[in-house]
Each structure stands twice: as structure tokens, then as C-alpha cells.
Structure 1
Amino acid sequence: MEKLNPLFVLIGRILVAALFLPAGISKIGNYSGMQQYMESVGIPGIILPLVIILEVGGGLALIVGWQTRIAAFLLAGFCVVSGILFHFQPEDQVQMILLMKNIAVAGGLLILVGVGAGAYSLDHRKSSD
């Protein structure tokens, strides 16, 4: 099992990134709609480029294992904050499930902060030079 751990960390990074990368790309394709949605819940639409950079850049960083701890930490914070801002609606069970999904993803990301990117990563390659 120990020999599989680097493979599991790689697969985990890719699976978590599969949430962020398409989400960020879709925001580019529906920029004005997303900006309006953000503003409708009181979030300034001007920060949308930062959200896109975080989701796309963070997703790519997780996939290749570059600056993994930093990317995972930032994405974990994003999950918690966006979950609270967009999904904390105690009267709506579906929204509360989405909030808990964000919290769970943040937990997985914090595990990456703790364990790092693993052997199959740019971080590992850089540290072994």
C-alpha cells in the first residue's frame, strides 16, 4: 500500500482539480452572467477575474503539483468563503448540502496542504534537484 500512496495523491489532486478547472473556464464563457449573479448576492463583480485566476490557476497547479500547498490553501479558503456566501441558506436543504460539499472539499484540500503534492509532481521534482 505504501508504494501506492504517491499514485493516490496524484489521483486525488486530479480529482479535486476536476472541480475547479471546468468551473473557472465556464466563468470565462459566461462572464457577464456570472458577474451579474455575483452582484445579485452582494459580491462585487469586479473580483470575478480573481475568482477565475484562482479556479483555473489553482486547478492547473494541483494537476501538475506546482506550489501545491499554496494552491490548496487558497482553494480551501475559497471553498469555505464561497460556500458561506452562496450556499448558507438553512431553509433550503439542497443549498445546505452544497455548503457541506464545499466544506468537505476544503477538508480534502487542507490534507494536501499537510501532505504536499507527492512524488508525482513538479514540487517533488524541484525539491530533489
Structure 2
Amino acid sequence: MNIINITHTEAFNNITKLLARFALAALFILTGLSKVEFYYATAQYMATMGVPGVLLPLVIALEVIGGAMVVLGLLTHLTALAFAIFSIVSALLFHFDLAEQTQFLMFYKNIAIAGGFLALAASGAGKYSLDQLLLKDRS
């Protein structure tokens, strides 16, 4: 069996898009819920990094609601683009101390996540999505 032939099938593309959506969204849903649990500590941390804590509800909403939208494949092009921008901005604001190894790794983790979301924004959610069901998005 030729692996190249398998990876060019519609079924493979749709299943990998579904798995990618789950993998990318899981991180944000879990961290969004964690921000709810540790709300005041998170707001304080944001403030120490120069980001107003009053933005925290918007961050939580993006992570939890936006993450659910990615899992469901709802408005995927737009939501994935928003997450790509969010990941890059977060990298720049919170992890730009590239001389420190942990921050260096966290910075490039965010950049890699942004790359995954950009690929999803470009390719769409696939067949197993609300975009396909409601919007007839054939991507």
C-alpha cells in the first residue's frame, strides 16, 4: 500500500482536519477553563506583563467559546485566523524573553500553534464540521 495514495484521499483529509481541530482546540479550552479557576492570579500575571486584567474575560471567551467553535468546525476560517493572531500576540507579550530557555520554547510553541491555525484557516474544517453542514463549505 502506497502511503502517498492514502494521504491524497478525501477521507484522509477530512479525518486529519477533524483531528487537527480537536488537538488545537483542546489546549485553548483547557487553558481557558484554568483561567476561570485561577481568575485573580491570571489577571495579576497579565497586569505584571503590561496587559490590563480587564481583558481577561475576553481572553477566556476566545479560548473557551472559540475553542468549542474550532472543535465543532463552526466559522472555522475566521476562528482559526483569530487564534493564529492571538497565539502570535501572546508569544510577543508573554514569552519574548528569548534568552531564557523556557520562554524561548514557549515563544516558538505559540508560533507553531499559529502555524497550525493558519493551515486550518486556509484549508477549512472539512466534511465533519458545522461549516459543511450549515454553510456548505466544501474546503
TM-score by structure 1 length?
Answer: 0.96
- Two-structure CA RMSD over aligned residues (Å): 1.2
CA distance in 1, matches of 2:91, 2:16: 27
Who is 2:3 aligned against? none
- 20, 32, 53: which is aligned to 2:28? 20
Q: How does 1:35-46 map to 2 (within 5 A)?
A: 35-46=43-54
Q: How does 1:50-129 map to 2 (within 5 A)?
A: 50-128=58-136
CA distance in 1, matches of 2:136, 2:64: 27
Q: Unpaired runs of 5+ in structure 1?
A: none
1:108 alignment partner AA: G
Return the offset for 1:57. Answer: 1.1
Identity of aligned residues (%): 44
CA distance in 2, matches of 1:39, 1:74: 22
2:73 alignment partner AA: G
1:30 alignment partner AA: F
Q: Unpaired runs of 5+ in structure 2?
A: 1-5
Return the offset for 1:128. Answer: 3.5
Q: Decide which structure has the larger Cα Rg and report it.
A: 2
